Structure 1
Amino acid sequence: MIGETLNNRYRVIEQLGQGGMGSVYRALDIALNQKVAIKVLPYQFSVSPENEKRFEREFLALTNLSHPNIVKVFEYGKSGSIIFFVMEYLHGHDLRNIMKTKPKKPEDFIALLKVFMQACLALSYMHSQGIIHRDLKPQNIFIQKDGDLKVMDFGLAKLQGSSVNLTQDGAVLGTAIYMSPEQASGKPSDERSDIYSLGVILYNALCGIPPFSGNNPMEILKKHLFENPQIPTYHNPFIPQSLVTALAKAMEKDPEDRFQSAKEFSHDLQMIMRILIEKQKRNENYVSIVVNSLKKLLKRR
């Protein structure tokens, strides 16, 4: 792949990542002289007409999602035995980069909430289009250098209210660490499944570790089904109680007890952020008053 030119237009430069339903490469669009990302269907899947159809459905799903917080796709193509589609190239890093340090100060939480509110916007839009992501995880949420967020990799997406998967068939789909209880048990998933997964990601970002871990995926899935996570403040005592409450609601075992929409989740996060901004302003005003008072005292002396 590296060094090849697909359809006499896209020169493949390097591999960026690899997943179950495709590998992603950085390439140069020779016609436009710009960087693009190319997702390639693995050869072992491309020999199956059904897998090719699923891969094409992922592309078609993305073409119908026009939103600033969802990755854009440009073209679907075949070059010899290689089946691929072309996406925008994103400059920045995935969410794992900002999860390395636990937030402590109000400004840390404000910055984190801004990221997750963008994720809620993306979810709200895709859900309004009838698409459930089903594989939300830090690797699939990209933060660009300008701070804008992009949700990507719809390889396990599903049309809501439909028995037809956009890509793979099977009862249990997703990544165990971030999977909702209903997905873990093979039950039908809906938009609240994505909300649970986003809640797990937020827990991870706040606490520095995911809520559940284990020696194998099945052990983790059982914990999602039957165990409650450690209270977030046990791992990070600086987390505001209002955020702990919102997080608990997002991660309820029963979908009926969760936020019923990404918009509802976003509304709570926005309220928490406003409270933190006001707190930050009060702290800054207090520091300013103290500094000015000290300056006056020094002048008198």
Structure 2
Amino acid sequence: IIGKGAGGSVYPLYDKAHNHLYAMKKLRLQMSRENWVSYETKLKNEFRIANKLHHQNLIRTYDLLQDNDLFIIVMDYAPFDFFTIVMAGVLTKHEIYCYFKQMCIGVSYMHSIGLAHRDLKLDNCVVDANGILKLVDFGSSVIFDMKRYNQEGESREVEKASGIMGSDPYLAPEVVTYPFYDPSLADVWSLAIIYCCMILRRFPWRV
């Protein structure tokens, strides 16, 4: 197993025919409180969003497979867990700046096409064999500008998001305070917390 979270577990997947290593994410099973239609819609939306993203700092997603009630997303394999790298204390300041810049570029691309990640954290970053940082896990992502998303221009107003999505230490105050908020700005807050963690190797409010 490569990684595990609320949305599912990730395993290596070797394609013998093409001698290529992928990663496969076994998505979480249906919960007792949700009906099949809403469950299936959520998982397919996660794949649809991930499959639309084509940027070097976002993990590339290829296919969605279904075996009865099991859904699997096939994506690129990146061997290095960024949380482990940061907490090991092996990064120089220059490397920290470089990785954080890559992170910001990836988020900026998402925002440019009307998408907010909504679960930015060290655990949702990986590094490939070439040292390129990639954001992963788009299960909480939301469209805040449908015109940008559909390449039809830009909406006059941002479509506000609702609900507490993300991971506690990285959540922007408005996410837990207000019923509606701008998800792109919430991403910016999460990026700032990540940067503090990269420098301090702990959350900033523990200083």
Contact 1:75 1:87 in 2 (8 A): yes
| Alignment correspondent of 2:82 | 94
Over the residues paired in the alignment, what is the CA RMSD in angstroms?
A: 2.2
| Alignment correspondent of 2:139 | 155
Bigger proportion of residues as helix: 1
| Alignment correspondent of 1:191 | 184
Deviation at 1:206, TM superposition (A): 0.9
Residue ranges of structure 1 left out of the alignment (5+ in a row): 1-14, 214-229, 231-301
Q: 1:210 to 1:77 in 2, by over 3 A?
A: same
Residue ranges of structure 2 left out of the alignment (5+ in a row): 145-157
Give the counterpart of 2:163 among 171, 175, 189: 171
Give the whole-Å Cα distance in 2 for the aligned partners of 1:89 and 1:153.
13
Give the whole-Å Cα distance in 2 for the aligned partners of 1:204 and 1:26.
28
2:123 counterpart letter in structure 1: Q
Give the whole-Å Cα distance in 1 for the aligned partners of 2:98 and 2:181.
30
* Structure (1 or 2) with the larger CA radius of gyration: 1
Identity %, equivalent residues = 28
| Alignment correspondent of 1:117 | 101
Deviation at 1:78, TM superposition (A): 0.9
Runs of 4+ that moved beyond 4 A: none
Contact 1:102 1:208 in 2 (8 A): no
- Structure 1 position 211 matched with structure 2 position 196: no
SS in structure 2 of the partner of residue 125 of structure 1: helix
| Alignment correspondent of 1:55 | 43
- Compute the TM-score of the two structures, normalised by the length of structure 1: 0.59
Contact 1:102 1:206 in 2 (8 A): no
Deviation at 1:80, TM superposition (A): 3.0
| Alignment correspondent of 1:20 | 6
2:125 counterpart letter in structure 1: I
Give the whole-Å Cα distance in 2 for the aligned partners of 1:122 and 1:189.
18
| Alignment correspondent of 1:295 | none
Deviation at 1:67, TM superposition (A): 0.2
| Alignment correspondent of 1:269 | none
SS in structure 1 of the partner of residue 47 of structure 2: helix
Give the whole-Å Cα distance in 2 for the aligned partners of 1:81 and 1:159.
27
| Alignment correspondent of 2:22 | 36
Give the counterpart of 2:128 among 118, 124, 144: 144
Bigger proportion of residues as strand: 2
Query: Which of 71-80 and 187-196 deviates more?
Result: 187-196
Q: 1:69 to 1:38 in 2, by over 3 A?
A: same
| Alignment correspondent of 1:286 | none
Contact 2:23 2:77 in 1 (8 A): yes
Deviation string, structure 1 residues 265-292 (Cα, Å, up to 9, x no partner): xxxxxxxxxxxxxxxxxxxxxxxxxxxx
Highest RCO, 1 vs 2 (Cα 8 Å, sep ≥ 6): 2
Contact 1:102 1:205 in 2 (8 A): no
